[in-house]
């Protein structure tokens, strides 16, 4: 099959954007499939990724810019709308692509996909924007609406965050959500030290540095660590820094029995197993067989033999395990994922406010199901990759109110990395994306009273 040329990269991006919006499909999966299916040249993968994610990330802002220039047009076909967004994204946000080149390619795609009328309309709209300039979001008086448009976050979400976190923190979070995150990895200390891994990765040509926040974390400035020998030989795991904090909060001593109740794809399970120095046992559960296989694959790659997996709905865990049989339990609960928007920009447009209340019930059911399995004096960690209080503090505080045998565990501070100390509030930790440049993440550490 002939390799795609750069001009067709734009058409591929347009088709991806249309599929993402129409089918509410995951952008990362569609992008990877498109790269394989179309045999896209290595040098063009970066452009395709930038065009797809960038246009998706800025969709509401681009629509605000386009709106006055589309006023006279009747209902526009979906693909034409995506083409206009895509082209305007290049004109506004990509310095290396001249406007004339972006417009020319858009008109050519419109000719191939539509008819003369459509290509004329596309050309007219884009040339008009060139002549008249973009509308200014500063004209929007309401600051919540203005921030919504400027950072392309739904207004209900901006308002909700502003009420919970304050406007300034919300503004910082919305702005950082528009930037691509760095890839980070966790060192498998059973096999190697961080210094050894850094040295080996540099020998392979990767640009890496130690994380200033997490002692076992490495930041990758250039390259994909999943392609490294260091990864393939099980010396590292690709994982976000915030996510690594769950195993720190949980802790663990040699030969303990630990339950990871919602474990796939196994990042936290394997971190816990490494912290036990491959002793004891980590029981790792997930609802789906294929996801359990991912956990097993990760454990095998890392050379960890203290993990036992089970495909199981954790809400039915009492039917399979005895009461008070675990020293520690991690519930990394299903959540809205609002903390990982930098990685999944399409999420902004598909989540609804009522989803958060539905998830609250599932999260609470999980805690109620697993808590009887914890030994007296044992540690229970509840975590999510979201930043919303409905799924975080409200769930935990309601659980504590109804379960007098549990209390907040203030000793969590002693187990956490020193650089994180300022973010800990008693027995809880809310990491916002702007705090350490990582995913938004919540952790609560509880202890079952001895008496």
Measure the CA–CA gap between 198 and 230, rounded to whole angstroms.
9
Q: Do the Cβ atoms of 401 and 451 come closer than 8 Å?
A: no
Strands 428-431 and 441-448: antiparallel
Measure the CA–CA gap between 384 and 444, rounded to whole angstroms.
9
Crossing angle of helices 59-66/143-151, nearest 10°?
Answer: 100
Annotated catalytic, 385? yes
Annotated active-site residue in 197, 220, 262, 385: 385
207-210 sheet: strands from edge to edge:
207-210, 217-222, 183-187, 236-238
Verify cis geometry, omega within 30 degrees of 0, for the bond prior to 265.
Answer: yes
Measure the CA–CA gap between 205 and 82, rounded to whole angstroms.
38
Q: Nearest Cα to 348, choosing from 83, 84, 58?
A: 58
Measure the CA–CA gap between 315 and 325, rounded to whole angstroms.
16
Alpha-carbon distances, residue 379 vs 289, 331, 344 (angstroms) = 28, 11, 32
Q: Which two tokens stand for residue 177?
A: 């959500």
Measure the CA–CA gap between 350 and 242, rounded to whole angstroms.
24
97: DSSP letter: S
3-state secondary structure of 115: coil
So which residues are the catalytic ones? 385
């Amino acid at each position: 099959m002939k390799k795609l040329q750069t001009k067709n990269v734009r058409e591929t991006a347009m088709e991806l954007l249309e599929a993402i919006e129409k089918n509410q499909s995951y952008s990362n999966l569609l992008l990877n499939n498109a790269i394989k299916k179309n045999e896209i040249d290595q040098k063009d993968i970066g452009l395709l990724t930038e065009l797809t994610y960038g246009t998706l990330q800025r969709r509401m802002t681009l629509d605000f810019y386009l709106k006055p220039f589309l006023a006279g047009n009747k209902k526009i076909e979906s693909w034409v709308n995506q083409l206009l967004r895509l082209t305007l994204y290049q004109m506004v946000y990509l310095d290396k692509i001249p406007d004339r080149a972006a417009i020319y390619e858009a008109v050519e795609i419109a000719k191939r996909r539509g008819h003369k009328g459509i290509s004329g309309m596309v050309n007219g709209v884009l040339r008009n924007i060139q002549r008249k300039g973009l509308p200014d979001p500063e004209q929007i008086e309401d600051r919540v609406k203005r921030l919504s448009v400027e950072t392309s976050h739904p207004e209900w979400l901006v308002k909700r965050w502003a009420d919970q976190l304050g406007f300034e923190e919300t503004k910082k979070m919305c702005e950082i959500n528009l930037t691509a995150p760095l890839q980070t990895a966790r060192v498998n200390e059973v096999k190697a030290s961080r210094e050894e891994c850094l040295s080996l990765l540099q020998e392979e040509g990767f640009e890496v540095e130690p994380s200033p926040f997490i002692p076992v974390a490495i930041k990758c400035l250039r390259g994909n660590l999943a392609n490294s020998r260091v990864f393939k030989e099980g010396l590292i795991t690709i994982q976000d820094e915030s996510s690594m904090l769950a195993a720190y909060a949980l802790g663990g001593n040699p030969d303990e029995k630990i339950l990871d109740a919602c474990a796939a794809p196994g990042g936290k399970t394997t971190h816990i197993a490494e912290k036990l120095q491959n002793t004891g046992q980590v029981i790792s559960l997930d609802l789906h067989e294929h996801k359990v296989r991912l956990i097993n694959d990760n454990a095998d790659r890392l050379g960890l033999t203290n993990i036992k997996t089970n495909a199981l709905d954790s809400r039915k865990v009492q039917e399979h395990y005895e009461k008070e049989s675990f020293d520690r339990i991690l519930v990394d609960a299903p959540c809205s994922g609002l903390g990982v928007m930098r990685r999944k920009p399409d999420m902004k447009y598909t989540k609804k406010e009522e989803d958060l209340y539905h998830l609250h019930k599932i999260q609470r059911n999980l805690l109620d199901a697993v808590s009887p399995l914890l030994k007296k004096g044992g540690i229970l960690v509840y975590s999510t990759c979201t930043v919303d209080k409905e799924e975080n503090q409200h769930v935990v505080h309601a659980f504590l109110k109804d379960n007098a045998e549990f209390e907040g565990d203030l000793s969590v501070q002693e187990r956490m990395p020193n650089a994180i100390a300022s973010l800990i509030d008693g027995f809880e930790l809310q990491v916002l994306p702007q705090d350490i440049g990582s995913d938004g993440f919540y952790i609560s550490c509880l202890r079952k009273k001895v008496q």
